[in-house]
Amino acid sequence: MYPKNGRVILHVDMNSFYASVEVAYDPSLRGKPLAIAGNPEERRGIIVTCSYEARAKGIKATMPLWEAKKLCPGLIVKTPNFDRYRKASLAMFDYLRTYTPLVQPVSIDEGYIDITECFRMGSPLEVARKIQNELLENLLLPCSIGIAPNKFLAKMGSNMKKPLGITVIRKRDVEKVLWPLPVEEMHGVGEKTAQKLRPFQILTIGDLAKADSIQLKKLLGINGERLKSRANGIDSRPVDPDAIYEFKSIGNSTTLREDSTDEHEIFDVLKKLSDSVSRRLKRKEMVALTVQLMIRYDDRKTITRSKKLENPIVESIDLMNIIEQLWKKHWTEDPVRLLGVTAQDLVDKKDAYKQLDLFSFEQDAKNEPLYDTIEKLQSKYGNHAIKKGLSIVDKESNTKGTSFNKDFLQNPKTDR
């Protein structure tokens, strides 16, 4: 059952994770239609996830809460409890590491585990069943597992049977099992990519596997060749426990209480978002070479605009300066519904090199202790403990966002 040359990789995907964690903490919710959603009073009433009982009523992620309640009047709604989900996630990954250190988390509720050297524990199927059963018995958390010789096929397998499914996909199964599926069901192919492929009659995974490589590269760049390889069941990526620490971007977004054209109010929101992104960058000891602004208008049209920088930045005031430039250049003066600030092209702080000139060096050196003091005060007493010359219009919402990035690896008591 274990190959002489090659790997055996599992993809462990927790089923309806947030809802399952809530049921684990409150067993009275078991078997009931349950949804995790934001604060409807602040128009964040969007379903984040829901139990399978709720899904049976037609409820799904991203559905407006009012629509979900119309479909299921008895729907139980919980706001996200991120500290609780982090603790459950950490416990889940700690358990997986009892089998092997080759565990690679990819999000709060899923990860890869290389069990190639676990042959003394039983066959791959027996190991997967044991993992699934013990996660359910000990943590009360259900999962689905894909078993395959590589990460791509393992990921495809875990998606095939939910909840509590186990699927084995071998390379020889690719043509029969994967090729007939619509191309948008392939991991790594989103709806936008599928739209680009349709005019070329690439409609199934099999079509992608047999497509012309040169045409794919012209259409999708280097990702076209990668997707073709995956469609043929080829994926040489190892399970890398350290990959989780590679941050490509850190961002926050928030929906305004009401659609707004009030720049004073909008700038206050952008300042809070910049503060949050700056704190997260510092926790991870990263700096940013690109800053991105996201604007969603009242008609749901969304734009993202970014600026690449000569020198990396991390301070909130520097992030906000770039955001203001992007805002003034790209805002259409239409009412705004949602705003987002993202730091991109991240570099480890110790690897970053800033081109300091004779005039900026002295000021940078002077400001560093000030920035450190402000950061410590805000972390201890909140965002409004001290401000750099800005007036306060209203209190910041205590509702936490729904995007984790990879923050779940942080200590739940300090990562807020």
Among 22, 53, 110, 315, the one annotated catalytic? 110
Tell me the pairing of strands 34-37 and 76-78: parallel
CA diameter of the chain: 67
Q: At what angle do helices 213-220 and 222-231 cross, to 10 degrees?
A: 130
Q: Give DSSP secondary structure letters for 325-388.
A: HHHHHH--SS-EEEEEEEEEEEEEGGG------HHHHHHHHHHHHHHHHHHHHHHHH-GGG--S
13 is in an annotated binding site: yes
Contact 404, 108 (CB under 8 A): yes
Cβ-proximal residues to 67 (8 Å cutoff; 6+ apart), any chain: none
Please tell me what DSSP assigns to residue 31. T
285 belongs to the catalytic site = no
Per the CB < 8 A criterion, the answer to whether 292 and 341 are in contact is: yes
Q: Is 259 annotated as a binding residue?
A: no
Q: Which residues contact 64 (CB under 8 A, 6 or more apart)?
A: 45, 46, 47
> Does residue 86 contact residue 409 with C-beta atoms inside 8 Å?
no
Q: Which residues pair with 34 in a beta bridge?
A: 76
Residue numbers in the known binding site for Mg(2+) are 13, 109
Residues designated as active site:
110
